[in-house]
Amino acid sequence: MKRMYVEDVKGFKEDEVLLKGWVHKITEFKDFGFVQLRDKTGIIQLVVCKDELKGLRLEMTIEAVGTKVENKKAIGGIEIKVKSIKILGKTYYDMLPIPVNEYKNSAHLETELDYRYISLRAPRVNAVFKVQEEITTAFRNYLKENHFSEIYTPKIIASGTEGGSELFTVNYFDHRAFLAQSPQFYKQMMVGAGFEKVFEIGHAYRAELHNTWRHLNEYVSLDAEMGFIKDENDIMDLEEGFINYLFSHLKKTCKKELEMYDVDLADEVKIPRIPLAEAHKILLDKYGKRSPVGNIDAEGEVLISKYVKETYDTDFVFLTEYPIAKRPMYTMPDGKGNTRSFDLIFKGLEITTGGQRINDYEMLRENIKKFGFNPDDYGFYLESFRYGMPPHGGFAIGLERITIKILNLQNVREASTFPRDMKRIEP
Amino acid sequence: MKRMYVEDVKGFKEDEVLLKGWVHKITEFKDFGFVQLRDKTGIIQLVVCKDELKGLRLEMTIEAVGTKVENKKAIGGIEIKVKSIKILGKTYYDMLPIPVNEYKNSAHLETELDYRYISLRAPRVNAVFKVQEEITTAFRNYLKENHFSEIYTPKIIASGTEGGSELFTVNYFDHRAFLAQSPQFYKQMMVGAGFEKVFEIGHAYRAELHNTWRHLNEYVSLDAEMGFIKDENDIMDLEEGFINYLFSHLKKTCKKELEMYDVDLADEVKIPRIPLAEAHKILLDKYGKRSPVGNIDAEGEVLISKYVKETYDTDFVFLTEYPIAKRPMYTMPDGKGNTRSFDLIFKGLEITTGGQRINDYEMLRENIKKFGFNPDDYGFYLESFRYGMPPHGGFAIGLERITIKILNLQNVREASTFPRDMKRIEP
């Protein structure tokens, strides 16, 4: 007999089924018991006789053969009258360190992360990663439909000249190397190398000394880079298109999971584009909030999101026209003292930095100098601009960040299978 | 006017088109010239007047507006009579360091890799990565159709106890960490955590002191792990199914690229499963080749491939029943002194190691001791087996290795965008 998934039981023609999964819950009565069997696709109730019940413990893996019986009180209206149960994976514990079958996890997040191989089993936690997988699927499908190629670029790099956050060092044979904080240089070079439009879904590393709800030191970055653009608006159009595609995709593929988190995604997302200076003015006039020069802080992100929610009924806002000094040296200036770059804020959290990049060799070389750096330090990256680089730009989305904002979670660690931060490197 | 890709020109209804791309080739005549424009999708001939030709150099990026004209001598039977050309990305070179428009790359591989941002532009090189992208697509689609979930697991890990190859160390804040040589422990834990069937496409790191045609220190690993199996044959069935799916997928999606490399993929792949001891005997009897104890060396891989090609007309062979001492401590023993593990050899190169894993806590603990290790060193990994781990197994395929074997390339570096080896960490 072939193993069947729980979600397929109801529609199955035969009465007898073979199921495999974990013992989710046990309820004992005088002569028999209920065992909830949980597999990858759902939970179903088994009716088990006293004898078979004896050896069972929560979270064991079992296989059960039985016949379908209708029971309106059971989950899904169906239960399985079990003929035989076989234990496939034994348990060795006195007490489960955290409960799996509670609707809400009562454990502290740190405890959940300590026992990640158990907490991930809880349907509510598992659902986060189902949604996350569909976010990456939507990203990939959307970009492929738009002529993008998926690429894999190195994470071990020779120098850390992109600027910005701190880098982790790697002992690479005889010399010191670094972990890439983003595929920025490489995705640009791939555009120039004839791939034109590329994306990468891969790890990025930031040795930042921040241990907050929104920082991870290893995270998954959804990176896109696109050649032959007119300006940064093409990139914002691309990302806005993605957000709409994503929401529509999630509604189709994650109905159950979105309901679990009581999430109602918009049917259409139109994202206002507000120049940073204007945003500063709004924050000051409306909320008395002063912003740091050329940027917006965490409080500002929350307030500007409040503003666009009230004004445009949207959870998203592009902040544009960041000043030159506040952006990396490869950012395209707009000729008015600012850059052709943007951030995307989603429900009070920055999830994207993007923009148009400089594509002319001489201009890039001069800009590097203007920033006080030495062009020689940019070796092959700068060299690659000698050979006909098209106008281009791109963006990156932090996967854990967009996941928690979609599901209204509180901490990026909830959206990382095995998060890495300043204090955590296990499990 | 909207930009059009070269591949769409022929079927386009209007006569006037806007194209963007690189200057692939220039041929000057007395009054006019031909410019081959290369974009992501192909090459097309532009007919350009003397004046417009003047500023053009090889590999510049341009946009051209013109009208379609039939010309049987041109590539694809069509050329574009150009009205206007605009330079989008200038060049700054005296001489191209390596040619892009030659059919065969005349440059040495090391030179190609030094100038990767140029060599990748050559259609013949670009094709390798088109095929590689479709290999990952096939892997993903095949597994998703079989109820697998895509996962992302950490590459920064706390301890290097998996055994086997050497590890790179990372300076992680106050302590020493490592780069994961495979997602082995994590993919197993994800199976146990209720995901049942998982796969990951991600980087793996090996600090091996080998600088050969088949070694990379950073490579892309196609990892799969599957719960609720009967034994290792389920895993080999899964991989054999993938190879067949892959070949069929590549024939559909990479016709042009396979032709470029003169590759004819089999319609059906049946992979013989030969116990290692039997393979040793075949090698000795047929080729006078002695093998190392409990393994097969590079020469043996080539000879056993020759044998299965001649005997079964196949490029693949599973070697099975490796002895316990030659496999990692988590490998399931078969009760006869060997393990439920296998290697997959493809055209003389090992591309996969796989097998069934131990899923019982006590058995794993005892096996760790038998191997002379301390169970305490396996911390959370061993702990995760206390909570009902299903019978499971998996395999991993080296992406660069399978790519070069499919296309009959000579060196794994040819199938890595920016390879990392003992001597190379740039570009």
| pLDDT at residue A321 in the model | 98
With respect to residue B350, please indicate whether it lies within any of the assigned structural domains.
yes
Mutating which of B191, B364, B387, B389 best tests the A interface, going by the most A Cβ atoms within 10 A?
B387
With respect to residue B111, please indicate whether it lies within any of the assigned structural domains.
no
CB contact under 8 A, A61 and B228: yes
Total structural domains within chain B: 2
Predicted confidence (pLDDT) per residue in A86-129, tens digit:
999 999 999 999 999 987 777 899 999 999 999 999 999 999 99
Alpha carbon distances (Å) from B144 to A100, B154, B199, B236? 26, 21, 9, 17
Sequence letter at residue A151:
I
| pLDDT at residue A103 in the model | 77
Q: How confident is the model at residue B59 (pLDDT cuts 50, 70, 90)?
A: very high
Is B206 one of the annotated binding-site residues?
Answer: yes
Residues of chain B neighbouring A399 (CB-CB closer than 8 A):
152
Question: Which of A309, A313, A319 shows the shortest CA–CA distance to A286?
Answer: A309
Q: Which of B156, B192, B196 has its CB closest to that of A425?
A: B156
Residues of chain B neighbouring A220 (CB-CB closer than 8 A):
152
Q: Residue A164: is its pLDDT beyond 60? A: no
CB contact under 8 A, A427 and B207: no
Q: Residue B238: is its pLDDT beyond 80? A: yes
Residues in chain A: 427
| pLDDT at residue A161 in the model | 63
Which residue ranges of A make up the annotated binding site for L-aspartate? 162, 206, 353, 357
Phi, psi of B10 (to 5 degrees): -60, -45
Predicted confidence (pLDDT) per residue in A175-201, tens digit:
899 999 999 999 999 999 999 999 999
With respect to residue A113, please indicate whether it lies within any of the assigned structural domains.
no
Cα distance between residue B53 and residue B82, in whole Å? 11
Predicted confidence (pLDDT) per residue in B308-322, tens digit:
999 999 999 999 999
Q: Which of A90, A154, A227 has its CB closest to that of B418?
A: A154
- Residues with Cβ within 8 Å of residue B395, at least 6 apart in sequence: B223, B224, B235, B238, B239, B344, B352, B353, B354, B355
Residues of chain A neighbouring B364 (CB-CB closer than 8 A):
none
CATH of the domain at B283: 3.30.930.10
Q: How confident is the model at residue A232 (pLDDT cuts 50, 70, 90)?
A: very high
Q: Which of A92, A147, A171 has its CB closest to that of B168?
A: A171
Within this chain, do residues A304 and A258 fall inside the same structural domain, yes or no? yes
Cα distance between residue B24 and residue B16, in whole Å? 21
Strands of A174-327, DSSP E: 175-179, 197-205, 218-227, 273-275, 316-320
| pLDDT at residue B266 in the model | 97
- What is residue A145's three-state secondary structure? helix
Q: Which of A192, A218, A362 has its CB closest to that of B155?
A: A218
Report residue A285 as tokens. 């006039």
Say if CB A391 and CB A228 are below 8 A apart: yes
| pLDDT at residue B293 in the model | 95
CB contact under 8 A, B361 and A92: yes
The pLDDT > 90 percentage for chain A reads: 93
The pLDDT > 70 percentage for chain A reads: 99
If you measure CA to CA, which chain B residue comes closest to A19?
A: B228
Within this chain, do residues B28 and B137 fall inside the same structural domain, yes or no? no
Cα distance between residue B47 and residue B313, in whole Å? 50
CB contact under 8 A, B389 and A61: yes
If you measure CA to CA, which chain A residue comes closest to B202?
A: A202
Torsion region of B196: left, alpha or beta (phi above 0 gives left; psi -120 to 50 gives alpha): left
Residues of chain B neighbouring A158 (CB-CB closer than 8 A):
425-426
Q: Residue A371: is its pLDDT beyond 60? A: yes
Say if CB A403 and CB A359 are below 8 A apart: no
Strand B341-346 to strand A169-172: parallel, antiparallel, or no bridges (unpaired)?
unpaired
Is B424 one of the annotated binding-site residues?
Answer: no
Q: Which of A22, A151, A172 has its CB closest to that of B168?
A: A172
CA of A307 to nearest chain B CA: how many angstroms apart? 35
Within this chain, do residues B152 and B213 fall inside the same structural domain, yes or no? yes
Predicted confidence (pLDDT) per residue in A322-331, tens digit:
999 999 999 9
Q: How many Cβ atoms are within 10 Å of B240's Cβ, its own excluded?
A: 18
> Among B36, B71, B89, where does a domain finish?
B89
Tell me the pLDDT of chain B averaged across its residues.
96
Within this chain, do residues B163 and B38 fall inside the same structural domain, yes or no? no
CA angle at residue B271 from B269 to B277, to 5 degrees?
A: 165
Residues of chain A neighbouring B218 (CB-CB closer than 8 A):
154-156
Q: Residue A35: is its pLDDT beyond 90? A: yes
CB contact under 8 A, A91 and B388: yes
What is the number of CB-based contacts under 8 A between chain A and chain B? 253
Phi, psi of A286 (to 5 degrees): -90, -35
Q: Which of B38, B91, B196 has its CB closest to that of A194?
A: B38
Query: Taking the mean position of all CA atoms in its chain, how far away is CA A72?
Result: 38
Q: What is the DSSP string of B5-51?
A: -HHHHTT-SSSEEEEEEEEEEEEE-SSEEEEEEEETTEEEEEEEEHH
Which residue ranges of A make up the annotated binding site? 162, 206-208, 214-216, 350, 353, 357, 398-401
* pLDDT average, residue stretch A138-161: 94
Alpha carbon distances (Å) from A321 to A165, A343, B172? 21, 9, 35
Is B400 one of the annotated binding-site residues?
Answer: yes
Question: Which of A104, A99, A95 shows the shortest CA–CA distance to A118?
Answer: A99
If you measure CA to CA, which chain A residue comes closest to B136?
A: A150
Residues of chain A neighbouring B161 (CB-CB closer than 8 A):
none
CB contact under 8 A, B417 and A186: yes
Q: How confident is the model at residue A283 (pLDDT cuts 50, 70, 90)?
A: very high
Strand B218-227 to strand B156-157: parallel, antiparallel, or no bridges (unpaired)?
unpaired
Q: Residue A166: is its pLDDT beyond 80? A: yes
Residue A290's Cβ-count burial label (10 Å; 0-12, 13-18, 19+) is: exposed
Query: Taking the mean position of all CA atoms in its chain, how far away is CA B87?
Result: 36
Tell me the pLDDT of chain A averaged across its residues.
96
Q: Residue A134: is its pLDDT beyond 90? A: yes
If you measure CA to CA, which chain B residue comes closest to A379?
A: B427
- Considering only the C-alpha atoms of chain B, give the largest distance between any 2 of them, rounded to a whole number of Å: 84
> Among A89, A109, A134, where does a domain finish?
A89
Alpha carbon distances (Å) from A283 to A271, A288, A297? 18, 6, 11
Within this chain, do residues B379 and B301 fall inside the same structural domain, yes or no? yes
Within this chain, do residues A68 and A139 fall inside the same structural domain, yes or no? no
Q: Residue B96: is its pLDDT beyond 90? A: yes
Q: Which residue has the tokens 């799996």?
A: A100
- DSSP state, A144? H
Cα dihedral: B244, B400, A396, A334 (round 10): -120
Is B357 one of the annotated binding-site residues?
Answer: yes
If you measure CA to CA, which chain B residue comes closest to A384?
A: B117
Say if CB B48 and CB B31 are below 8 A apart: no
Residues of chain A neighbouring B126 (CB-CB closer than 8 A):
193-195
Say if CB B63 and CB A227 are below 8 A apart: no
Alpha carbon distances (Å) from B130 to B136, B214, B255? 10, 21, 11
Question: Looking at the DSSP assignment, which residues form a beta bridge with residue B91?
Answer: A387
Cα distance between residue A119 and residue A100, in whole Å? 7
Alpha carbon distances (Å) from A21 to A37, A53, A75, A206? 6, 15, 16, 38
Within this chain, do residues B153 and B27 fall inside the same structural domain, yes or no? no
Within this chain, do residues B195 and B313 fall inside the same structural domain, yes or no? yes
Residues of chain B neighbouring A169 (CB-CB closer than 8 A):
170-171
Within this chain, do residues A153 and A206 fall inside the same structural domain, yes or no? yes
CB contact under 8 A, B427 and A117: no
Residues of chain B neighbouring A137 (CB-CB closer than 8 A):
150
Q: How confident is the model at residue A80 (pLDDT cuts 50, 70, 90)?
A: very high
Cα distance between residue A339 and residue A333, in whole Å? 4
Within this chain, do residues B83 and B132 fall inside the same structural domain, yes or no? no
Q: How confident is the model at residue B302 (pLDDT cuts 50, 70, 90)?
A: very high
Is B200 one of the annotated binding-site residues?
Answer: no
- Residues with Cβ within 8 Å of residue B110, at least 6 apart in sequence: none
With respect to residue B95, please indicate whether it lies within any of the assigned structural domains.
no
Say if CB B118 and CB B97 are below 8 A apart: yes
Report residue B324 as tokens. 């316990």
Q: How confident is the model at residue A163 (pLDDT cuts 50, 70, 90)?
A: low
CB contact under 8 A, B39 and A196: yes
With respect to residue B163, please indicate whether it lies within any of the assigned structural domains.
yes
Domain that holds residue B225: 123-415
Residues of chain A neighbouring B193 (CB-CB closer than 8 A):
116-118, 120-121, 126
Phi, psi of A345 (to 5 degrees): -105, 130
Q: How confident is the model at residue A162 (pLDDT cuts 50, 70, 90)?
A: low
CA of B285 to nearest chain A CA: how many angstroms apart? 42
CA angle at residue B276 from B270 to B277, to 5 degrees?
A: 130
Is B214 one of the annotated binding-site residues?
Answer: yes
Residues of chain A neighbouring B202 (CB-CB closer than 8 A):
202-203
With respect to residue A98, please indicate whether it lies within any of the assigned structural domains.
no
Strand B42-49 to strand B61-70: parallel, antiparallel, or no bridges (unpaired)?
unpaired
Say if CB A254 and CB A131 are below 8 A apart: yes
CB contact under 8 A, B60 and A388: yes
Question: Which of A58, A49, A55, A6 shows the shortest CA–CA distance to A31?
Answer: A49
CATH of the domain at A54: 2.40.50.140
With respect to residue B113, please indicate whether it lies within any of the assigned structural domains.
no
Buried b / exposed e along B43-75 (16+ C-beta atoms within 10 A): bbbbbbeeebbeebebbbbbbbebebeeeeebe
CB contact under 8 A, B193 and A362: no
CB contact under 8 A, A92 and B362: yes
CB contact under 8 A, A427 and B116: no
Mutating which of A86, A152, A187, A195 best tests the B interface, going by the most B Cβ atoms within 10 A?
A152
> Among A89, A115, A147, where does a domain finish?
A89
Cα distance between residue B346 and residue B304, in whole Å? 10
Within this chain, do residues A79 and A147 fall inside the same structural domain, yes or no? no
- DSSP state, A34? E
Within this chain, do residues B40 and B184 fall inside the same structural domain, yes or no? no
Report residue A244 as tokens. 């709409």
* pLDDT average, residue stretch A219-224: 98
Question: Which of B190, B33, B218 shows the shortest CA–CA distance to A152?
Answer: B218
CB contact under 8 A, A89 and B391: yes
Angle between helices B232-253 and B123-145 (to 10 degrees): 130
With respect to residue B102, please indicate whether it lies within any of the assigned structural domains.
no
